Amino acid sequence: MKSVAVILCLVVLSGCSALSNVIPPFEEAAIVIEDSATLRELKALPKPMGKIPVSVYAFRDQTGQYKPSSGASSFSTAVTQGATSILMQTLSETDWFLPVEREGLQNILTERKIVRAANQADSEGEESPELPPLTTAKIILEGGIISYDSNIKTGGFGAEYFGINASELFREDQISVYMRAIDVRTGQVLVSVSTSKKVLSKEIRAGLFRYISFKRLAEIEAGYTTNEPMFACVQQSIEKAIAELIEKGIEKGVWKARA
C-alpha cells in the first residue's frame, strides 16, 4: 500500500514540476509590447494617397461594468480606462491617419503661452518669432467600449478515481467596440463600424486524496489559471475597428488608396 502511495505522490509531483514550467517567476523584466495579429493586418492594408489629420477627444469605457470583488468598497472597472491612449497609439502606427492631440489640448495651449512669454523675454524689444498654428483635423473619431458581457459561455470537464482527480474549467466573456468617423466641416458620419472580442479564461486542477493507513491521510493539489489580459482584448478590438474603418471608407469612396 505504501509503495502505491509513493508512486502516486511521484506522479503528482511530476505534474507539479511540469506546471512549474507554465507558472511564471515572481519577477520579470519589462518588455516592449509586440505587434498583435490585428495590428499586423492593419499595417498590411493598401497605402493611402496621403495621411488624413484625425483627432480623438474621448474614446472611453461606456459599459459601466465593475470587476466582481468580495470587498464592498471596491469600484475597480472591468475594462481599461485608457482606450483613448490605445486608439491614438494605433492611429500613429498606420499610414492612413495623422493623429493630432486633443485630449491634452489645454496642456498644449498652456505650454504655448509659456513659449510665447519666453520668446518675448529673449527678444528684448525685437519682434518675437511666432509659433506655427496648431494642425487642424479633418476627421473626428468618436465612439467607445459600449459592451462588456461576462459569463457568456462556461463549462468544463473532470474525472476522479480512487482519490485521484483532475478537472478543467473555462469561461468566455465578450467586449464590443463601436467607432465612427465624422466630417469636421459638415458633422456628417462618414463611416461607422463595430467589432467584438472574446475574453477567454481557463483553470486546470489536479489532486490526490488518499488514506495511506489508519489516521494517515495524503492530500496533494496542483493547478493554474490563465486569463486573457483585458488590455490586450481592448487593444485588438480597437485595431480591428480601425482596419474595418479604412476598408469600409475605401468601399464608400470616403478616401482612396494609392494605385
* Tens digits of residue pLDDT in 235-255: 999 999 999 999 999 999 999
Q: Which three cell numbers stand for residue 212?
A: 495511506
**Total structural domains in the chain?**
2
245 with 119, same domain: the answer is no
Give bridge partners of residue 218 from the DSSP assignment.
210
Q: What is the pLDDT of residues 200-237, one digit of tens each?
A: 999 999 998 887 777 788 888 888 888 888 889 999 99
Higher-scoring residue by pLDDT: 220, 22: 220
pLDDT at 68: 61
For residue 73, what are the contacts with CB-CB under 8 A and spacing of at least 6? none
Q: What is the pLDDT of residues 31-56, one digit of tens each?
A: 888 888 999 999 999 999 899 999 99
112 with 239, same domain: the answer is no
150 with 195, same domain: the answer is yes
pLDDT exceeds 90 at position 5: no
195 with 244, same domain: the answer is yes
Show the domain range for 202.
Answer: 2-24+38-102+137-252
User: How far apart (Å, rounded) are the C-alpha atoms in residues 70 and 77?
Assistant: 14
Instruction: Please choose, from the candidates 174, 187, 202, 194, the residue with its C-alpha nearest in 3D space to the C-alpha of residue 243.
Output: 194
pLDDT band with cut points at 50, 70 and 90 for residue 64: confident
Q: Are 87 and 178 in contact (CB under 8 A)?
A: no
* Among candidate residues 94, 116, 136, the one where a domain is terminated: 136
User: How far apart (Å, rounded) are the C-alpha atoms in residues 68 and 226?
Assistant: 17
11 with 126, same domain: the answer is no
Q: Tell me if residue 179 falls in helix, strand or coil.
A: strand
233 with 170, same domain: the answer is yes
Q: Which three cell numbers stand for residue 250?
A: 475605401
* Among candidate residues 94, 112, 136, the one where a domain is terminated: 136
92 with 109, same domain: the answer is no
131 with 95, same domain: the answer is no
**In a domain? residue 31:** no
User: How far apart (Å, rounded) are the C-alpha atoms in residues 157 and 189?
Assistant: 48
**In a domain? residue 259:** no
DSSP 203-238: EEEEEEEEEEETTEEEEEEEEEEEE--HHHHHHHHH
